[in-house]
Amino acid sequence: MKQESVLSKINNPEAIRELKPEDLLLLAGALRQEIIDVIATKEGHLGASLGVVELTVALHYVFNTPVDQLIWDVGHQAYGHKILTGRRDQFATNRQWQGLSGFPSRAESIYDTFGTGHASTSISAALGMALAHQQKKDSRAHIAVIGDASIAGGMALEALNHAGVSTANLIIVLNDNAIGIDPSVGALKHYFEKVKQQNTSSENIFQALNIPYTGPVDGHDLEGLIVAFQKIQKQKGPRLIHVVTTKGKGVEQAELDQVTYHAPGKFDRKTGILVPKTERPTTKYQDVFGKTLVALATQNDTIVGITPAMPTGSSMKLMMDAFPERSFDVGIAEQHAVTLAAGMATAGFLPFCAIYATFLQRAYDQVIHDVALQNLSVVFCLDRAGLVGQDGPTHHGVFDIAMLRTIPNMRILAPRNEIQLRNTLYTLQLEIDGPVAIRYPRGYGKISNWELPFEKIDLDRGHCLKEGKEIAILSVGTMGDNVNEALELIEDRCSPSHYDLGSIKPLDDSLLHGIFKTYTTIITVEDSALAGGAGSAVLEWANAQGYSQTIKRIGIPDHFIPHGTTAQLQQEVGLDAAGIAAVVLDLQK
């Protein structure tokens, strides 16, 4: 039987269990090639899924999925799982508008038993399922597949602590490839390296937690994996199997450059060589942040950089290369990152804590209790604020304004372009007095010459960008670009004014009084949740001041936004230029 023919016969895991043992290797080879072929042209998370091909086949062969419940931590590595569970024909739509999700989704398949997208949740979820089924006298297995980077997260350690005193039918598969998106960090990483080198069965950290340990097992030895899983399947209670894999397995370039090939974009499916990307005349916002932080740290030796496992994605890597002693990658530990920053702030340092907007949710209590309550000077640099595109609802950074606006002492700033972001960072390190959050989007800006001499700016002030009449549009951050495009579309039919709100908290009282005394209709535009967002702040302010003008808010509605390109999603919710223009014209009638 050929590789292609064996994969074509697999529409569900039951078909895998009917294969002859020698055909399982063919299936693994075909599965790996299918992932390569599709992701080469459609893009997505390559390295993680290539690294678990044999593991995926072995799990579905040995365990009776979906009765036995399989949970993939984060879910970057679940492409093979999706192909083998009836979604091969749809796989080319992965991460595309109205296509398959890039992560496991309960709404998509009964084989996706728990939705994931953020790290370190799988053991807690699997343990919860196992304890619930134990109450029902249901003996099915619950398998959590978690990476060495994710298992170091606080939530995973909390779950291990609980699992060790339970009798639940829980199997933890530690997928150890020594890397998350960037290389793994911390003491646990070094511990796992020692275990792999010694290859010993002496008591280890998991056995000390009353969780029996098996391993290390070669994660690319399919026959050995099946034997190990069949053995562990017969055991009782919580147990852990340590599987060693190589991220990017099967594509030489992906194995050698695991950071780039985590999500490489388009590449040649035969050679693995990346397809050259069109040169852009502008810079990613994350690089504006990273380069500016290095420049400021050169002048100010109190500046330190902190990131929870995203040095490359946030461009904190630039700071780590320039000032390694003043930069800290703390691993997948957002709570720790925030309180670490708070501790450093008490000692006179100025921490710039770079966290994706969607991941700051994971440290909300620490922002309130450890930073804001003590009014400590920590700068939260919220990369990827707003709609982020194909990663979908687990990654959209749309709740940060509503989440932070209620916190006393917190300032929230939304620079409208690269130059304002650069000068905001510069000004804060001169005059900060308490916690500040700066939000900026994923992707490229529109200004090529942004590395101008630093200029101190008034951070609490908004600005008039275009004077008009009757209607005033208040835009938040880079949404000003969409508003400008909208005004160009309707310039021959009406001429509203356009203002950059600037500071979301505190609001610019002087600017708002001027606007509300001049215009009959106010429109707010933000790429964040309408409930509790910047538009809500303006509404509350107007009510408190006794103004009664019509106020129309444009932003993210009260439901989770799916995946697709950012342009498609903005069009879907009416945040694109055409959508904004339509609202303006409707209000002018």
Enumerate the active-site residues: 247, 334, 362
Cα–Cα dist 284/485, whole Å: 20
Residues 6+ apart with CB under 8 A from 554: 523, 524, 525, 526, 535, 574, 575, 579, 580, 583
Q: Where would I find the beta strands (DSSP E) of 338-470?
A: 350-356, 379-383, 411-413, 436-439, 463-466
- Backbone phi and psi for residue 354, each to the nearest 5 degrees, phi listed first: -90, 110
Cα–Cα dist 251/261, whole Å: 9
Are β-strands 379-383 and 497-500 bridged in parallel, bridged antiparallel, or unpaired?
A: unpaired
Nearest to 371 by CA among 402, 331, 340: 340
Cα–Cα dist 426/293, whole Å: 9
Nearest to 379 by CA among 389, 371, 388: 371
* First-to-last C-alpha distance (Å) of the chain: 69
Q: Percent helix, strand, coil in the chain (nearest 5)?
A: 45, 15, 40
Contact predicate 337/363, CB 8 Å: yes
Amino acid in the structure at residue 227? V
- Backbone phi and psi for residue 50, each to the nearest 5 degrees, phi listed first: -65, -35
Query: Which pair of structure tokens corresponds to residue 152?
Result: 């170091």
Nearest to 227 by CA among 217, 239, 240: 217
